Amino acid sequence: MNSDEIKKKAQEINQEIVEWRRYLHQHPETGFDLPVTETYLKERLQELGVEIKKNYGGSGFAAVIQGEQESPEKKTIAIRTDMDALNLQESSSRDYASQHDGKMHGCGHDAHMAMALGAAGLLQEYRSSFSGQVKFIFQPAEEIGEGAEAMLKEGVFTDEPEVDAIIGTHIGSIWSLPSGQVGYRKGPLMAAADKINIRIRGKGGHGAKPQETVDALVVGAEVVSSLQNVVSRRIDPLDSAVVSIGEFRAGSAFNIIAEEAELSGTVRSLSSETREQLPEFIEDVIEGVCLEMGADYEFEYTYGPPVLENDADFTELFIETAGKMLGEENVVEISQPTMGGEDMAFFLQEVPGTFFGLGSVNPEKGTDAPHHNPEFDVDEDVFWIGAALFTAVALKWLAG
């Protein structure tokens, strides 16, 4: 494997990767049902000569490149990309802006797919030089944290060829990396992302006679306030956790005291031990407030993606490969994990691998907006880096 040769080939196809990305950006789809995205990806893979396997998790699917070298032990590395967009109205005036009102690739998944296609093209060229397989996993429903788990349950790792390692990337400003740099971190990189739903039942009545009621809205407000004590008083200060209520629904009219209130929020953590404790801590608060104020409650805790942990040995292989290709000064350690979640974590629970950041922050090009923002965009000049690193890391790992 020649790092300079892979770099040169990837740079030569960067414009093609841009074109793929722009089409995908114009046609965003959400959740598990992504028919236009799925069809487009499969057509491009067929043009590249890549074998498409079965679907998993709705529009998700796998594709495989078989190495032509003989070896007694044929291993498989997976390259994973997410496919879905956000329910978000794009504010960009660019000519490749979303053509679907209320939907936008505001998190870089369009670029991830295009870079994976680029890697597929490169690895097809190199298939005579390696043994084993490269399995491309095109995954839906990342934004709702359900796609990876659904694909695993349907056998995407255990169906032939079985997956032994995995790599993926996230482009954009999430780690504030400037364009052209890549970031890595051994161990925890992104938080577990869970969801809570709370229903409070009080006693409604006339706004002029509060003494005859149990105001569910007031109870809910007290719950929101008291939940902040979970992190500040029950979690080790040296650990990390977040409890945030994002939705609060109560009341039907200005002069009616609410009988019910519904709250929902997100819970983030960076250790499995803390994650196991949080449901009990949160319910203790809800129960205490409701008991004191005379209300009843229902509490639901839904587990989402776990903590995303990068394998130390595989990440070291990535660091070495990226350093040779980009220069060591452009391969930087991500010093602190983010409390953002990512369901790539489900895959990394099963096999060793790494999830790296690809820098895309360039204020002069207008690519410094945060993720999930109507003005989000990425620097298209760095796409070759993702394709090249997918290719080079896969070849190096397969070579043992």
List the catalytic residues.
84, 142
Cβ atoms of 263 and 223 closer than 8 Å:
yes
- Cα atoms found within 13 Å of the Cα of residue 148, Cβ hemisphere only: 25
Encoded amino acid at 170, one letter: H
Q: How many angstroms separate the Cα of 321 from the Cα of each of 6, 121, 318, 384, 397?
A: 11, 19, 5, 15, 10
DSSP-derived pairing of the beta strands 165-172 and 353-359: parallel
> Rounded to whole angstroms, how far apart are CA atoms 162 and 154?
13
Q: How far is CA 165 from the centre of its chain?
A: 18
Q: How far is CA 384 from the centre of its chain?
A: 21
Size (the chain), residues: 400
The pair of structure tokens assigned to 154 is 């349907």
> Rounded to whole angstroms, how far apart are CA atoms 378 and 188?
25
> Rounded to whole angstroms, how far apart are CA atoms 141 and 30?
7
Compute how many other C-beta atoms are within 10 angstroms of the C-beta atom of residue 367.
22
